[in-house]
C-alpha cells in the first residue's frame, strides 16, 4: 500500500507543479571492558580541559575551512550544507525556535541565506543537463537528496525567477526518488539507483529531504513516507540485541557489521526528521506526527545508548566498528563518535524527558576530547578519523595535514555539528533559571 502511495503522491505533486513523471564480521561481542556507559559519573580527563567558555569557536572556523577545501562528493556537500544551516543560519535549520514550516514571512522577513546559496550554486552547476538528481550521486540514490533541504530553502527565500529554478531542482529530485529508484514492498526506497540495497547512511540523506518537502507543501503523505523510511530501515538494519544498526544489507555487496559512522548518519538523520515534524506550522499535521516523533526519539536513544556502550575509557572515542574484536576494524576514531554525540545533544534539548536515560556524561567526555585533544587548533584538522571511502581501512587518517587523504570531510562536518548541537543543549537548560542543574556548572559548559 505504501509503495502505491509513493506513486500517488508523486503523481499529485507532478500534476500540481508540472513535474515530468518519469568485511567479514567477527560476531557480536559483549560490552568492552573499557566501556564507560555504566559509569554515570563523567570520566575526569584534566589533560583535555580548558577554562574558556566556547573557546572552540575559533577552532570551529578552522575546522570549517578544512571541510570547505576537502569536500568533493554529494553526501559530503550535504553534510556541509547542514553545517551552514546550523552554524550560520539557525533560523532556517529544522531545529529553529523562531520559524515554522512552511517558511513564511509571518515569522519575519524571508531573507535569502546568501552564504548557503553561494555554496550550492557552483555544485549545482556541475549537474548534467537532463538528469533528475540535484547532483551526480555516483550510483547512490539518496546522496544527491542530501542537498535537497538547501535547495528548498533557497526556493522559499529567493526572487520569483530563482525560486522557480530551485523548485524545479527539488521537484526533479523528488520525482527521481519516488519513480525511478527501486522500492521494496514496504515502501523503503533503496540507497542505490540500480538495485535494492539498504545503507544506514541513507537515513541522513533522503528522508530529511522528503520530510522537508512534505512540510513545505503541507503534504501528509510525504511526511509519512519520510517517517516510514526510518521505520523500515530500522527494521532491516537494527540488531535486536545491542540495538545498533548494520551498515549495508542486501544487494551485490554487504557490510553486515556495525559501523559507528553509519549509526551516526542514522541517528542524526532521524533527529532531523524529528525537528522537521516538531516545527510543522499546521496543528493537524503536528498532531499527526506526534506518535512518529515518539518513535524517532526512542530509536535515536537506542543508537546512542547502544553505541556508547563501546566507548573507550582511554581515548573517550568510539571504535570504527562497534561490537568488533578485530583490531584493524575497532580503532578509536572521531567521526562516528561526534555525529552520534551530536544526535544525542539534539535529542536531549528537544526531548528533555529522555535526557536522564542518555549517557550524557560519557558523551561530554567524548566532546571535550574531540574539541581539545583530537582537533588541531592551528590547522583545524580532526583526527583520528576513518577514511570515508574505505570504512574497512586498517587504520585511521591521522590528520597530519589538513588535506585530502589525511582528514575526512564528513568528520570535519560532524565536529562542527557536535559543537552546534552541544550549544543548543546548553541553551535549552536555561541555566540562569536552573543554576543547580548538573550540566549548568562552569566546568560542564567549557568549550
Task: For residue 184, give the C-alpha cell.
Answer: 521494496
* 446, 50 Cβ separation under 8 angstroms: yes
Rounded CA gap, 94 and 116, in Å?
A: 15
Strand partners, 407: 404
Is 440 domain-assigned?
no
Q: Which of 406, 379, 382, 410 is nearest to 393 (CA)?
A: 406
Q: Which of 62, 163, 100, 102 is nearest to 412 (CA)?
A: 62
Residue 60: per-residue pLDDT: 97
Residue 447: per-residue pLDDT: 55
Task: For residue 80, give the C-alpha cell.
Answer: 556541509
Is 175 domain-assigned?
yes
Q: Which of 186, 187, 198, 184 is nearest to 140 (CA)?
A: 198
Say whether 199 sits in a helix, a strand or coil: strand
Per-residue pLDDT of the chain (447 residues; tens, 9 = 90+): 444 445 444 444 443 343 333 332 233 333 333 333 222 233 333 333 333 346 799 999 999 999 999 999 999 999 999 999 999 999 999 999 999 999 999 999 999 999 999 999 999 999 999 999 999 999 999 999 999 999 999 999 999 999 999 999 999 999 999 999 999 999 999 999 999 999 999 999 999 999 999 999 999 999 999 999 999 999 999 999 999 999 999 999 999 999 999 999 999 999 999 999 999 999 999 999 999 999 999 999 999 999 999 999 999 999 999 999 898 999 999 999 999 999 999 999 999 999 999 999 999 999 999 999 999 999 999 999 999 999 999 999 999 999 999 999 999 999 999 999 999 999 999 887 888 887 776 555 555
Taking only Cα atoms into account, the Rg of the chain, rounded to an integer number of angstroms, comes to 21
Total domains, the chain? 1
CA distance to 10, 47, 148, 312, 409, per residue, from 212 (Å): 15, 42, 8, 36, 24
Tell me the residue range of the domain where 397 lies: 56-431
Residue 44: per-residue pLDDT: 37
Phi then psi for residue 49, to 5 deg, are -95, 150
Measure the CA dihedral 419/421/422/425, to 10°.
160
315-339 residues labelled b (16+ CB within 10 A) or e (exposed) = bbbbbbbbbbebeebbbbbbbbbbb
Is 296 domain-assigned?
yes
Look up the CATH number of the domain holding residue 320: 1.50.10.10
Rounded CA gap, 138 and 148, in Å?
A: 17
Task: For residue 278, give the C-alpha cell.
Answer: 516538531
Is 256 domain-assigned?
yes
Rounded CA gap, 230 and 258, in Å?
A: 17
Q: Which of 270, 277, 439, 289 is nearest to 352 (CA)?
A: 439
Is 8 domain-assigned?
no
Rounded CA gap, 196 and 190, in Å?
A: 5
Rounded CA gap, 25 and 242, in Å?
A: 15
Is 246 domain-assigned?
yes
Is 420 domain-assigned?
yes
69-82 residues labelled b (16+ CB within 10 A) or e (exposed) = ebbebbbbbbbbbb
Say whether 277 sits in a helix, a strand or coil: helix
Amino acid at each position: 500500500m505504501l509503495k502505491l502511495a509513493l506513486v500517488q503522491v508523486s503523481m499529485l505533486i507532478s500534476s500540481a507543479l508540472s513535474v515530468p513523471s518519469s568485511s567479514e564480521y567477527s560476531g557480536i561481542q559483549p560490552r568492552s571492558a573499557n566501556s564507560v556507559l555504566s559509569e554515570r559519573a563523567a570520566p575526569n580527563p584534566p589533560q583535555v580541559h580548558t577554562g574558556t567558555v566556547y573557546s572552540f569557536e575559533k577552532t570551529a572556523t578552522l575546522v570549517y575551512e578544512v571541510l570547505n577545501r576537502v569536500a568533493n562528493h554529494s553526501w559530503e556537500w550535504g553534510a556541509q550544507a547542514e553545517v551552514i544551516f546550523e552554524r550560520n543560519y539557525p533560523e532556517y535549520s529544522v531545529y529553529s525556535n523562531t520559524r515554522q514550516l512552511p517558511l513564511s514571512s509571518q515569522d519575519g522577513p524571508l531573507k535569502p541565506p546568501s552564504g548557503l546559496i553561494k555554496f550550492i550554486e557552483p555544485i549545482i552547476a556541475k549537474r548534467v543537463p537532463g538528469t533528475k538528481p540535484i547532483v551526480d550521486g555516483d550510483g547512490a540514490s539518496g546522496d544527491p537528496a542530501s542537498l535537497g533541504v538547501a535547495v528548498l530553502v533557497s526556493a522559499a527565500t529567493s526572487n520569483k525567477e530563482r525560486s522557480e529554478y530551485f523548485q524545479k531542482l527539488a521537484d526533479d529530485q523528488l520525482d527521481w526518488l519516488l519513480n525511478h529508484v527501486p522500492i521494496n514492498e514496504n515502501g523503503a526506497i533503496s540507497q542505490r539507483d540500480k538495485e535494492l540495497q539498504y545503507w544506514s547512511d541513507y537515513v541522513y540523506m533522503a528522508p530529511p529531504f522528503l520530510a522537508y518537502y512534505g512540510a513545505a507543501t503541507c503534504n501528509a503523505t510525504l511526511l509519512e513516507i519520510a517517517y516510514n523510511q526510518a521505520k523500515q530501515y530500522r527494521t532491516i538494519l537494527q540488531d535486536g540485541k545491542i540495538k545498533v544498526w548494520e551498515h549495508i544489507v542486501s544487494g551485490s555487496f554487504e557490510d553486515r557489521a556495525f559501523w559507528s559512522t553509519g549509526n551516526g548518519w542514522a541517528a542524526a538523520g532521524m533527529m532531523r526528521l524529528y525537528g522537521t515534524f516538531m516545527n510543522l506550522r499546521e496543528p493537524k499535521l503536528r498532531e499527526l506526527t506526534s506518535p512518529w516523533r515518539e518513535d524517532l526519539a526512542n530509536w535515536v536513544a537506542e543508537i546512542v545508548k547502544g553505541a556508547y556502550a563501546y566507548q573507550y575509557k582511554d581515548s573517550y572515542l568510539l571504535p570504527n566498528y562497534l561490537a568488533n574484536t578485530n583490531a584493524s576494524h575497532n580503532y578509536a576514531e572521531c567521526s562516528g563518535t561526534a555525529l552520534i554525540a551530536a544526535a544525542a545533544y539534539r535529542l536531549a534539548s528537544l526531548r528533555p524527558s529522555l535526557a536522564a536515560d542518555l549517557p550524557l556524561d560519557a558523551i561530554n567526555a567524548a566532546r571535550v576530547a574531540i574539541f581539545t585533544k583530537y582537533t588541531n587548533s592551528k590547522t583545524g584538522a580532526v583526527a583520528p578519523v576513518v577514511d570515508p571511502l574505505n570504512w574497512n581501512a586498517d587504520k585511521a587518517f591521522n590528520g597530519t595535514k589538513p588535506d585530502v587523504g589525511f582528514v575526512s570531510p564528513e568528520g570535519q562536518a560532524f565536529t562542527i555539528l557536535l559543537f552546534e548541537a552541544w550549544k543548543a543543549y546548553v541553551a535549552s537548560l536555561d541555566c540562569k533559571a536552573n543554576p543547580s542543574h548538573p550540566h549548568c556548572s562552569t566546568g560542564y559548559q567549557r568549550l
